Amino acid sequence: MISDEKALETAKKLETADIDIKKTIEKAVTAGYLGEKHFYCTVIEYGGMTHTVPEVLGDRYKTQKLDNTYFDIISKALDRDGIYISLAYCNSNLNIPDEDCDEIEEYDDYDLEEDEYEYMVHYYLISADKVKKFNIYAEEGISGHNPTEDIGIMTNIVNGEYQAYFAIRSTDLCMSSFRVIPLSDEYPKEHPLSFKNPINKLLIEMIDRVIIYKKNDT
């Protein structure tokens, strides 16, 4: 697992990286989720609320191909309030066999005796590249993410250059629309939006390997 410092360094690098948006979106499509191709790239409006491309085109239930019309919408959104690309998932409700996981990690940073631990939580982290199983005791107090949330990057073009940030996409209270909320280094490691949260650090590392950069950005 990357350190707190490396997570912040990765986030800082992302802010000014020259991302190949089209190739990154196309790669995100390959992230299998519950046995199906799972894909979200949403257009952000003022206030952080989001809309899928089919919604923008007037039919939220239509399946939209990654064609010229699609990327034309994305290009226009980049010059406005930006887009959000979903690149990873964290789900504790799945039951993926260990042999199907690329990596299995366990977190133990809480000062308890072994017999004081009572409840182990299993999180499955999924990106286009990998599936990881992350074991953590509930007593650690680390918040994971809800099944209705995903993590990725929000990005737009400012003065001709991309600005991108790690963020969570989550439903609002009435479960009718999604809102994008950036991660922050101001929260403690237990918080679901913290760069210090061990689950987020694993997801950041996975996402950084999925993003396609132009030129020599890595």
- For residue 43, being part of any structural domain is answered with yes
Domain count, the chain: 1
The first and second tokens of residue 139, run together, are 């007593």
The pLDDT, as a whole number, for residue 26 is 86
Q: Which of 23-27, 113-117, 138-142 is predicted least confidently?
A: 113-117
The pLDDT, as a whole number, for residue 162 is 83
- For residue 21, being part of any structural domain is answered with yes
Composition of the chain by helix, strand, coil, percent to 5: 25, 30, 40
The pLDDT, as a whole number, for residue 116 is 65
Show the domain range for 66.
4-88+147-210
pLDDT band at 16 (very low <50, low <70, confident <90, very high): confident
- For residue 81, being part of any structural domain is answered with yes
Instruction: Tell me the whole-structure pTM to 2 decimals.
Output: 0.87
What's the pLDDT tens digit per position in 37-56? 555 788 888 778 888 888 88
d(C-alpha 213, C-alpha 218), whole Å = 6
d(C-alpha 3, C-alpha 111), whole Å = 19
d(C-alpha 124, C-alpha 69), whole Å = 34
On average, the pLDDT of the chain sits at: 84
d(C-alpha 211, C-alpha 28), whole Å = 9
- For residue 141, being part of any structural domain is answered with no
Q: What is the mean pLDDT of residues 109-114?
A: 62
Under 8 Å CB-to-CB from 97, ≥6 apart: which residues? none
What's the pLDDT tens digit per position in 92-111? 888 889 999 999 998 876 65
Residue that wins the pLDDT comparison between 48 and 172:
48
Q: What angle do CA 22, 151, 32 make, to 5 degrees?
A: 70
The pLDDT, as a whole number, for residue 168 is 92
Residue that wins the pLDDT comparison between 60 and 73:
73
